[in-house]
Structure 1
Amino acid sequence: MTERGAGQGRSGLVAITHYRPWLYLSAVVTALAMINALALWGVDVAERGEAVLRSATGLGVVICGIVVGWQMSGKARWWRLLYAAATALWLLGQVLWWTDSAGTGDVVAVAPAAVVYLLLPAFALTAVVLLVRSGGSVIGPGGLLRTPPVTSLLDGVVAGVAFLILVALGGFGTGSGGSLPRTGQPGVELAFALAELVVVAAVVVVAMVYDPDRPYRTNYLLLAGGLVMMASSDRLIAYVRSVDSEGGRFWAGLGLIVGPLTIALAMLEQKPRTAEDGRPNWEFDWARLVLPFVGFLGVAMLFAYHVVSGRSLSPLVACVTVPMVSLVALRQVIAMRAQRLLTERLYRAQSGLAYQVHHDALTGLPNRLLFALRLDEAMVHGNFVLVFVDLDDFKEVNDRFGHAAGDELLRAVGERLRHYVGEKDTLARIGGDEFAILIEGESEQLDAVADRLQRALRNPFPVQGSSVRVRASMGLVRPDAYGGPQTSDDLLRQADISMYAGKRLGKDTAVVYQPLTGVRADFPTALRNAQGGVPAGFHLVYQPVVQLPEGKLVAVEALARWNAPNGMHVSPDTFVVASEAAGMGAVLDGMVLELACTEVAAAGLDVDIHVNVGAPRLGNADFERRVQRTLQRHAIEPSRLVLEITETVPIVDLADAAAQIARLNALGVRVALDDFGAGYNSLTSLHALPVQIVKLHRTLASFADPVRDLALYRSVIDLCAELGFVVIAEGIESRAQVDTVQAAGCHFAQGHLFGRPTSITELSHYRAPELAGGSN
């Protein structure tokens, strides 16, 4: 167990439980400090009130450090205890000084108090180092890319210079008994001011490189903010005393009250955002945006006050201001250049991603998605031929020579066919040993097309020193084969039917599609005969969706299964496509939704329910009403339902689909874009559809090259994060894959590693798999 894990296991409950009360208490104390700063009851009362508030907040830090730190282990304990000790020393110094000066601030501190004060910067800096090291490396994947090291260093230098200006305006504290260490010795005062400067610059630099995804970042920001507030307040007290602004010294000292409050909050274990709603925190990193300019803005405001009040700036302050402004300008130039480089990298990554989404990784040919898009475009004018090619007995090549030889043969077949199609034609690998060809302008010469392609494959192919002859069965389709309205999916299905009809005739054939060659789909008939009920042999299984890294069950996806009356198991892709083609897609989706809600409600599972719906349901008002009635009937909160848009049919009108999704969102129902990286879902859908979840298809990465897979997943997940989507990685089957998607920033996953599709009864007893301890 890591230090962080040990600490959370022992103190997480206490810390999280007490976080909100401390926050409310801090707000009340801050309000009291501001009221006290008004000195409504006189300066004497305000001084006593300030002393009480400083003592109380300091004591709160000590208590928090001891109570919370004692329940931690390792460095997570010691930085809290160390800073609690530093605060106790600060309180001791305050007591010694108040006792000696009676709170007037006109007497230098006694020797013990001065020594105590001089130890504070060292204690504070050591506590910061221990806090940073307790969370491991502060720089996560891509951290230095988002925030270049030079920019972070400049941020620290600017913060240090701004603090130096503040110190200089206050005369380095040498003439004030109100700022630490109150020794009255200029050399010691100057050394202490420079020590404070080092602490301020250091904490700002670390804050800029501290990646938002790393542990304890919120604790660090709170601790750093408290330290900067206390140091700045200490110097502001010196400044207001140097300009004889008695009315402002209570306001200047607010940081010595609010700063400890902030540090006390840092002592607590901050509750992660993901623990509240199960969704990762992808909010904009405001800390990195604001921190570099806080000191610059503060100095500008102080200059304005200084000049408006009729005082002149010293030559030292004026000289130091020039390099500070120059450094801020230089920092912006470097940051803009880094942003430009990052944008260029993102553009190249997205371009590469778009290519990979539309092309087959093995052959480099267009894949099914791009082919369907080209086919949709060709159907506008209708002058084309669609050819579906399936290699005969390809399994024998794999069995005889191995899968590597089979891949080599597929690449060679693709290259050969490429030379036999025109420049305007499209050759694609649909999957496995199947290819599809879209030939423009030859709709009346099907025999010539088939003969040309068969001749292309007659010459043998060299495979691992042997000669292999390839035979192929082809199905050819004209766009008007049915004589009625058609979609690209209809044509592909017709070509597939023709190709298999040719295989039954003896292989190495070319069959032109005729309506009579189609085989009647049994499932649509069974669905009609059920008359609103569930057809015989139809049932649902459920696959878990889990939250990483703990593997907690957060949702189940309902998956349809059907066994035909003859006992044959029919593939879901087959009967879903058949239902859509028969106009029964809405009936099927409605039945699955009703059955899923019924079974999940009966099982008493309090998790989200994912249900697949076909793209044609978007824009269907009747389906929208059915969703609403189903949820009301089973008393299921709409926010628990996630409708996954499947890719069996492309979304024709994205604008109408977006409007329908918006109406579903208004009901409280979330919508997911399923199988992203395959099928019809594309980058255009991400941009146009107001979905909340994106599910990454299992084929998005090969998991053969971890570096490339991580780069690809990170590109997609970062893009989705920028657009505000929750990402679920599908097809996760090993711990190595879990490590890859986690490193890419994915917080939710689904796959056989977490459970195969099973009955809802078995899922009621779901236990998360053990994910720790390496990968296999």
Structure 2
Amino acid sequence: MNALAVAYTHYGTAPQWMAVWIPAVLVTVSVVRLVKWVRSPAATVGEEEAVRLLKRTTILGSVIALAYISWSLHLSQYGDEHQQTHVAIFIAITVIGCIFCLMHLPQAALAVTAIVTLPYLAFYVSPDDAVYTAIGFNILLVTLVMIRVLLNSFDGFAMLIRTQVHTEKLNREITKLAHTDMLTGLPNRRLFFSEADRSIERCRTDGRELALGVIDLDRFKAANDTFGHVVGDELLEAVGERLRDIFADHGLVARLGGDEFAFVIEGDEAKAMALAGHVCQVLSEPFQLEDITVSIGASCGVATTRDISGTSRELYDGADYALYKTKSERRGFATLYSPEHEKRIRSERAVEAALQVADLDGEMEVHLQPIASIDGQTIVFVEALARWTSPELGRVAPDVFILLAERAGIMHRLTLTLLGKALACLERLPTGVMLSFNLSAHDITCHETVVAIMALVRRSGVHPSRLVMELTETAVVRDFEAAEASMRLLRSLGIKIALDDFGTGQSSLSYLRRLPIDKVKIDSSFVAGADDAEGRELLSAVIAFCKSMRMQCIAEGVEDATQLHFLQSIDCDFYQGYLLARPMPIDELVAWVEDKAQPDERLARA
């Protein structure tokens, strides 16, 4: 606009090419450049491209500035003093405007200022014309001040950019820390499920399958307890390295917590199961940690989008259920989730939901199964067995609801409810009969539960010597130190300890020597195997071992007289099973005990 104004005031005074055509060309170039700049997309460019564009702007600005100053100085030769003064003011105002416009690009601003100001001063400053010389120096001073303002502004702009870059870098680092497992360096649970959901959405859009797997380490707890937490952490780091190598070109692997890992890959079930099997194989190989060699293993559950249409959480639930089946039936391998599992999951969820709102005192009851001396003449113990009749679901099997009670976090309340009922039943039985009560893995490793059990026994009035607490090998091994402390605490009150299902768990002989165990319940599988010679030898060896450890033996699952006679011949102490009696409510048990005692009373009277 300034150029058009100057050209207008010189129209008719300067030649037409000077007053019309040159300014027309200059203004056209400027307008084209302006339109191109306005219409350019606001896209993010890389560092090299940004430098190239800034250099181009500096060069174009310098060329256009040189063209304008050359035209202006030539134009000032025409016209009177007012027209010449207009040209001088035009140059001064224009250079100040350019400095403001190019404030964020100081190289271009300084280049334009030098190209315009130096010829301007050289043209106007003269000893013969004091007015224009003063104007020139005034313009120089204003220009220098504007340059100072420019540099200060650019320093602030540069500091702002550096601060933004630093802030973005910190944000990236914080985000990385928030999504990274600090021990293994693998993605953590939060990032895993977020990325898994994105992958699921992408694969469904593209019509491709996706698989999610859950990996659980076998025997890690035992290794951690044996070698210490420092070695345990090193072992998890080594596991993370192996998993990172396996999934480098296949998908995402993460540590969800503890000794649980998970992966997500794009592909069908065949690819997923092959990879899961490879994981189990690689993790079963020994780990060399400095001077210690540790051998563990891994089990895996896999679910695919073909069988489960839902979020990553739903896929995880399916894979976790498949993992549970693996741990129960074929530890060290991988299991694929199938639609049949969905029915079981739905059933378990219904049971868990009913259990959460159940009136435990009203819906739970205790059935009692007698345990007799090996000659069958004396009832020595009764084992309390939980029974649950839900108003919505009907009768629910104990092996189902006990596991779900642990998962739902209500095992503490359930145990105290059942023990209270069992103690009440014991008061109706002869004083010589003892009560055997089962404790879960949660019970024996939870100090609060153990203390609450002891308080309940004291309040009941039942002498602690009439109580036997049964624990499984698996429950003890899960947290050996906590289990041992709880067992010693219970024994300090006078309660006896029995190891249940002996021979089916993972305990070692060294563990058995350390534990304060009074009785051993031999699993029914050993008793059932007594039908052949090899089975009888094994059963004899188990009982002989228990005797050498000064532990009384209780044989479970005795169903026929042949088994009982063999147990008598190898000096077993007690037996339990359908041959003696099935579990029954307390009223039936009282009647059964009285009926069993009648022949002895008649014999005594005779």
TM norm structure 1: 0.36
Q: Comparing both chains, which one has the higher relative contact order based on Cα–Cα distances under 8 Å and sequence gaps of 6 or more?
A: 1
Greater C-alpha Rg: 2
TM norm structure 2: 0.45
